Amino acid sequence: MNILVLNGSPRVTGGTAAMVSAFVGAAREAGHDVNVIEIATKNIHGCLACEYCHTSGNGSCVQRDDMDEIYPLWDAAEMIVVASPIYYGSFSGQMHCLIHRTYAGGIPEQCRKMALFLCSGAHGVYSNAEGIYHGYLQGYFGVEDLGVYEGTTSECKSPKMALRLRNLAFSLG
Ligand SMILES: Cc1cc2nc3c(=O)[nH]c(=O)nc-3n(C[C@H](O)[C@H](O)[C@H](O)COP(=O)(O)O)c2cc1C
């Protein structure tokens, strides 16, 4: 399966990175083709709400930045993993910018499955991010939800979480 993993954390040694690493390693071991985008290293601007994409742009964005390399991966992915730290009760700013920019292309063409990875400082802070995921991404796209994997920094770095994500990777068809 062609899998796109969007990592919205700027911390290379953080909990989100640990979750991504555990899942991606196992998914590759299981024979899947995985692209990981480290969003925080990319130049991704916010949506300008110009509606060029929905008028003369025919689904393409008026802005030229690193979304140019992400749009084709977004449309080719059969599974998309959204992985983000919790900032102010929601996704990181970088992840928000990426999600808003998918307004241009709309529903990813090949996507059939999604999963959400969230890492936070405290417990019980996931409802906003889960609401966006179920309301505007997985649910809106009408694709299978393979689960929400969430925890505090230490929980996300734990062997228990790594095992859960390894099991997820090996459960994929
Ligand atoms: C700008 C900022 C905002 C944050 N807001 C929250 C928050 O609202 N709730 C929370 O539990 N943790 C919050 N945190 C803590 C992070 O979620 C936590 O450090 C987590 O480990 C970040 O993921 P990472 O390790 O992958 O970078 C915030 C951290 C930063 C830098």
Q: For the domain that residue 125 is a member of, what is the CATH number?
A: 3.40.50.360
Q: Between helices 15-29 and 159-171, what is the axis angle to 10°?
A: 40
Question: Please, which pLDDT band fits residue 124 given cuts at 50, 70 and 90?
Answer: very high
Is the entire prediction scored with pTM above 0.75? yes
Total tally of structural domains belonging to the chain = 1
110: CA distance to ligand 1 center in Å?
A: 32
Percent residues over pLDDT 70 in the chain: 100
Distance 161 CA to ligand 1 centre (A): 18
Q: Do β-strands 144-152 and 2-7 pair in parallel, antiparallel, or remain unpaired? A: unpaired
The residue range of the domain holding 96 is 2-171
